[in-house]
Structure 1
Amino acid sequence: MGVALRDILLDYKNPVDWNELAGNCAVDGNNALYQFLTTIRQPDGTPLMDTGGRVTSHLSGLFFRLSNFLENGMHPVFIFDGKPPQFKSETIIIRREKKEKAKEAYMEAIAVGDTKEAFRQARSATKVDSEIIESSKKLLKLMGVPYFEAPGEGEAQAAVMAMSGDVKYSISQDYDSLLFGAPRLVRNMTVSRRRKVRGRTISVNPEKIVLSDVLSGLMITREELIEMGILIGTDFNEGVRGVGAKTALKIVREGKFAETVSEKLPGFDPDPVKEFFLNPPYSSDYNLEWKAVDFDGIIDYLCGDYEFSRGRIDAILEKLNVKQGQKTLEQWF
């Protein structure tokens, strides 16, 4: 879900054109797939599926976004979550329970014909399971895009890679990337340039957040930014009730973080969470090698296995071919 820092980051969100994003970039894979699964749905909340009932929303989103990335000279590497830290187990249990309740509410809404409520509950019940991830990895391979599993959190691995200079920036919707130290975070990479928010469609464009600008502008350190996250609530701890970004900023500026935690979260030790953000588990054993797009393989996989429209896939692949200066689709068949 990510830490709710939006209210203090508005002044640090810089619009960025797609043509400025060329180069290596690390994508929070689980975050991207979750986006696709929650947004690419029928009006009643039903995800896109083939005739066998297999979900295809994630493959649709992934294919079109990857094509857009490659057309714009971007070299993405997708990073998937590995083993979560022990102190995330409670969060995982709570989320699982909420998703089960949302699934029940979805079925009830469908039964009474309330499509608006059904759509809302379907999004809340979304899960990124192993089948979703494995089918996505196969498409990534066909698109020539490298991927690997992080030893811990995917966005933490992406942040470390950005800090080392192996990639120019991290891509994720979650602000946690900043707490993990990502020097540059890019959000809103939707191909359609539109997103549904509270039932209405709004226009969105890519935005870049530079961590050093945030820290200097707010006059805090990265450690204090992490303390703010702990007060607000992260994926690894429950925050202080009633404390949002602006209140958290005031508390850390006044040096009252420890005092507030002791008073409002008795029995909670913030140090393991803070240490996890500052020094997360990561791997240096990865190979950033981008390969040629397997046009035949993509058509067999998406159109053959998952029944995608051949016309739509052909059009995108032909556009990608022309952009890359390769031969046209007609020469491939």
Structure 2
Amino acid sequence: MGVGGNFWDLLKPYARQEGFDFLRNKRVAVDLSYWIVQHETAIKGFARKPHLRLTFFRTINLFSKFGAYPVFVVDGTPSPLKSQARAVRFFRASGLDLSSFPVVEEGVSVKRNSRFVKYVEECVELLELLGMPVLKAKGEAEALCAQLNREGVVDACITADSDAFLFGAQCIIKRLQINSKEPFECYHISDIEAGLGLTRNHLIAISLLVGSDHDLSGVVGIGIDTALRFVKCFSEDEILNRLHEIGRGGALVIQGSIDSEVLRSSDENLPKTKSSHCSHCGHPGSKISHLKFSCEYCGSTAGQSCKQKFVGFKCDCLSCDLDKKEKERKKKENWQINVCRKIALEKNFPNDEIIQMYLSNHHGTDDDPCIEWASPKTEMLVDYLTYQQHWEPSYIRQRMLPMLSTIYLRDMASSPTNDLLYGHYEFHSIQRVKIRLGLQFYVVKWKKAVNALSDSMSAIPEEPDILQGSEEPDESNDLLEEPDVPVVCINDGCCFLSTDEDMELVRNAFPEKVDQFLKEKELKERKSRKKKSSLRSEGTPKNSESSTSQSLQLSITEFYRSSKVLCENTLEENDLGASEGKRKEPSTRLSKSARRRLLFD
């Protein structure tokens, strides 16, 4: 949830839709609880243990398809404030009377749901087998994600908790759409500061006014629009101090309003009240004085009546302008006093414990976390998912291959060796360039090495063989966001795999293969151009005419010209009223079906 009062709707206009390559070679902190909660309901009933399935496929997609380095963060012990707020939310959702709400002792945390804790533990075990780093927060996972982002350890956070901005996050990915040209919905704090004029302290003040996960109620009678307008009256450095002053019953009239200062510093010699205006034209002066002398605004002369004012006329003289500004100032001051009175009625506002929690820089169990990505423990992972998900081992190995090929190419780019992909496949060639979602990839062909052991783990069977015997044959749908499946083929007794790989990654790992592919591609294009030019130059007029006619799209009447002409001639002979030399049309007395039969018989 995060900040209440539809806080995401306030930030929605400043969202960016980032492209496919946004996270390429970047580190990203993932709030694991967000993934579990988000998709538990979405695919529940469609798959066995959806939290494990989503974690498995999304991690592979994030690592291989998007080229990111994910760091997973799990929740620690919830704060007493959030525990109490969660209990209140449960009472409200259940329709129970809050008067029967049990009193929670101060400083005591309520344990998280045991079933949810089990889900998290299973996902953590899966991620560790995949070789992904997992960090545990002291309290909330989004707080540690934000701290890692603020300190530059990661480049973005994947979470839906808006209070991550209050913890100091710089870039939040709220929505992740795998199969899209713009899969990331991102929010940057720089865009929010430029568009709304709100800094981190302003956002904290808004959360105190409208409520958050740690204080559901906030200030009674203050919504998101009122809170936004109120906090913008103060600078970043003074907003939290002013809330303390108002909450402790300090000065109710806000002295920091820029408009008020400007108005109060205006020339004191200017008239304070609105002068009299003519009832006929609406300009300064009386009707009698305008008739006796003149009206400088209407341009009338002495003895001549001034112009009649139109409906909705508003005078823009200095006196009216000052009077208008004075009314606006008083209206704003009255509104500010009303907001301050609502704040002053709240008990223990603002809560210093919440503010200190948001501004803290120690949200992890380890102040210097060790973040490393290891190679997956393939066989242990196969055994784990076979037990938990009842999948076929070949199915698991095939779905893991995009991740293994990405790790292999990265290792070959940093330190080339004679190792094989998955211990059995060697880089053979680049087949072609593939465009997917507007981005180019190399289709890489892997050949099974001759000296590879031909045991059960070496074979990556084709898709039909994988799904045979599976207990969940209908799990391949868009909701589950499965990675790309490698294509398997056998040619001349050799087994080949085809995978889609990042072009830059392939070039760094095998520059000679890429150069060879580009040269062959250029040679083929040259031969194709030469062949086309020779056909144009050596072609006879007859050939050119035939080629031109073949390139034109003929109408349907061209295919049945002889039948149509014969039909028309027959109709012309029977039409006695038609004159010679004129084109004869089929008789309109025949029905449409009869004319169609005559045309095509």
TM (norm. structure 1) is 0.77
- What's the offset of the Cα at 1:157? 0.9
1:27 maps onto 2:30 in alignment: yes
Q: CA offsets, 1:78-114, max 9 Å, x none? A: 1111122222221121244467x49xxxxxxxxxxxx
Aligned pairs for 1:80-91 within 5 A: 80-91=74-85
Amino acid at match of 1:322: S
In the alignment, what sits opposite 1:197? none
Question: In angstroms, what is the RMSD of aligned CA positions?
Answer: 2.8
1:45-60 to 2 correspondence within 5 Å? 48-49=47-48, 56-60=49-53
2:387 maps to 1:298: no
* Contact kept? 2:169, 2:189, Cα under 8 Å: yes
Higher relative contact order (CA 8 A, sep 6+): 1
> More helix by proportion, 1 or 2?
1
Q: In 2, distance between residues paired with 1:282 and 1:128?
A: 24
Residue identity matched to 1:277: Y
Matched, 1:184 2:171: yes
Among 173, 185, 207, the alignment partner of 1:229 is 207
1:37 matched to 2:30? The reply is: no
Is 2:16–2:185's contact at 8 Å kept on the other side of the alignment?
yes
The SS at the match of 2:187 is: strand
What pairs with 1:1-333 in structure 2 (closer than 5 Å)? 1-3=1-3, 4-22=6-24, 23-42=26-45, 48-49=47-48, 56-71=49-64, 72-97=66-91, 101=94, 129-191=116-178, 205-238=183-216, 239-241=218-220, 243-255=222-234, 258=246, 259=340, 262-263=343-344, 265-279=346-360, 281-283=362-364, 284-308=367-391, 310=393, 312-324=395-407, 325=409, 327=421, 332-333=457-458
> How far off its partner does 1:204 sit?
8.0
| Matching residue of 1:117 | none
SS of equivalent residue, structure 1 residue 159? helix
> CA separation in 2, counterparts of 1:139 and 1:67?
12
Offset of residue 280 of structure 1:
5.3
CA contact (8 A) 1:13 1:209 kept: yes
Q: Deviations over 1:27-67 (max 9, x none)?
A: 1122222113132223xxxx743xxxxxx110011011100
Structure 2 SS opposite 1:39: coil
1:165-199 C-alpha deviation (Å, 9 max, x unpaired): 11111111121111111011112124356xxxxxx
Whole-Å Cα distance in 1 between the matches of residues 424 and 137 of structure 2? 39
- CA distance in structure 2 between the partners assigned to 1:190 and 1:312 by the alignment: 24
Partner letter of residue 148 of structure 1?
L
TM-score, with normalisation over the residues of structure 2?
0.44
1:64 and 1:191 in contact (8 A); partners too: no
Any unmatched runs of 5+ in structure 2? 96-112, 235-241, 247-339, 410-419, 426-456, 459-601
Question: How many residue pairs are counted as aligned between the two chains?
Answer: 290
Structure 2 SS opposite 1:10: helix
Q: Greater CA deviation, 279-288 or 239-248? A: 239-248
Asked if structure 1 preserves the Cα contact closer than 8 Å seen for 2:220 and 2:342, the reply is no
Distance 1:95 1:48 in 2: 29
**Cα distance between partner residues in 1 of 2:182 and 2:341:** 37
Matched to 1:217, the amino acid is G
C-alpha spacing 1:323/1:285, structure 2 compared with 1 (3 Å): closer
Structure 2: distance between partners of 1:128 and 1:26: 24
Once the two structures are overlaid, the 10-residue window that deviates more, 169-178 or 321-330, is 321-330
Q: Which amino acid aligns with 1:170?
A: C
| Partners of 1:28 and 1:158 within 8 A in 2 | yes
Q: Give 1:235 deviation, angstroms.
A: 0.6
Gaps of at least 5 residues in structure 1 are 50-55, 103-125, 194-202
Identity of aligned residues (%): 28
User: Is the CA contact 1:79–1:148 (under 8 Å) kept in the aligned structure 2?
Assistant: yes
For the Cα contact (< 8 Å) 2:210–2:222, is it kept in 1? yes
- C-alpha separation in 1, matches of 2:376 and 2:186: 28
Aligned to 1:31, the other structure's residue is in SS state: helix
Secondary structure of 1:2's match? coil
